[in-house]
Amino acid sequence: MEDELPLPIAGEAEEHTLISEQEPEIGGKSAFLAQIREVAEKLERDQATRGDIKIIARAAKELRYAFKVFTPYRLHRKVTVFGSARTPANHPDYLSSVEFGRLMAQNNWMVLTGAGSGIMEGAHVGAGLPMSMGVNILLPFEQQANSVIDGDPKLVTFRFFFTRKLMFVKEVHAVVVYPGGFGTLDELFETLTLIQTGKRDMLPIVLVDQPDCNYWCALQDFIRHQLLDRGLISPADLSLYRIVHSPAAAVSEVLSFYRVYNSMRFVKQNLVLRLNHPISDELLDQLNVEFADLLISGTIERTAAHPFEADEPHLKDLPRLRFHFQRRETGRLRQLIDALNLSPELPSPELSPQQPSLS
């Protein structure tokens, strides 16, 4: 996600130096491939155990194949749908997921799920095979690919949850969550954590419940009384997700998030927001007053595409805002994006596709 020089991380305080992504003349793909080979050589030198090497080898194989499958669709908007594999086909949540998948496909969004039964199957039934993608997991029970996606080349099957989770959030532009068990809650909170900590670009997280809100509202109460009231999260963190009560409302939340906002990227010390539409001087002044707490220094100002963004030529002509962002304030950043999207008298955009970023 970033174009800053990376901070030292595990394994980087050795004899070599990281080559940063913003220096293609020094780095580029060949340099990173060299790093992969170097890691393999060090594993042999370190006399790593067979089990450790096996994990690395299998994870690398899974990710390589997954990237190959997803690459042709990188510039197509996608939504991940999480939810229980145990939801029966006659349950209101299942029927809601079918309708959600259908509406998203009608809006030219692809639907990515864990490829199993229940909510995952419902979303795929609604979207139809051409607009469905799946990331399955090998389990001793419960999880096999649903009949919609089974055998399709857009289905990837993983051994590891961590590689599968990466694809769930790396490749999509929205996350929609239906009621589910431990796995669903794990996926929701991991996504929230990635957003809150700035390890994933901002995206809409929408929790879909029935009109009586007998699932997500109970979780909302827990979050407010046990997390917020104890000071374990910030009030603005509640802005990182929305609870809705119909598939149509979920679709509206996803599409509205990209009404003006398009995507984001860090360039050196600045956060750059790419927009589908230019904003007025009045709104820019309002943002500088209302969101001054987001700024380490300077102001929110208009800018053009930076040379570091040359790897995204499909976005080069979009208008941009730039500011020195206080990176602990991701909830407030979401509120700024909401303010942008409330700009009056702007049409719902035909979105420019963008590749999401996970740092």
> In this structure, are 62 and 89 located in the same domain?
no
> In this structure, are 67 and 134 located in the same domain?
no
> In this structure, are 197 and 119 located in the same domain?
yes
Q: Indicate the burial class of 140 (C-beta count within 10 angstroms; 0-12, 13-18, 19 or more).
A: exposed
- Contacts with 114 (C-beta within 8 Å, 6 or more apart), sequence order: 82, 85, 120, 134, 135, 136, 137, 143, 164, 168
Output the six-digit token pair for 59: 């994870």
Which of 9-23, 25-39, 110-124, 302-316 comes out lowest in average pLDDT? 9-23
Q: What is the pLDDT of residue 359?
A: 45
In a domain, residue 347? The reply is no
User: pTM for this structure?
Assistant: 0.88
Using a pLDDT cut of 90, give the percent of the chain over it: 84
> In this structure, are 239 and 281 located in the same domain?
no
> In this structure, are 167 and 233 located in the same domain?
yes
In a domain, residue 349? The reply is no
What is the average per-residue pLDDT within 115-123?
97
> In this structure, are 106 and 253 located in the same domain?
yes
In a domain, residue 135? The reply is yes
In a domain, residue 45? The reply is yes
> What domain range includes position 282?
261-341
Residue 116: left if φ>0, alpha if ψ -120 to 50, beta else—which one?
beta
Is residue 17 predicted with pLDDT exceeding 60? no
> In this structure, are 85 and 219 located in the same domain?
yes
> What is the CB neighbour count within 10 angstroms for residue 12?
11
In a domain, residue 128? The reply is yes
CB 145 within 8 A of CB 176: no
H or E element in which residue 205 lies:
strand 205-208
Residue 38: left if φ>0, alpha if ψ -120 to 50, beta else—which one?
alpha
> In this structure, are 93 and 58 located in the same domain?
no
- The mean predicted confidence, pLDDT, of the chain is 90
In a domain, residue 22? The reply is no
Count up the domains in the chain and report the number.
3
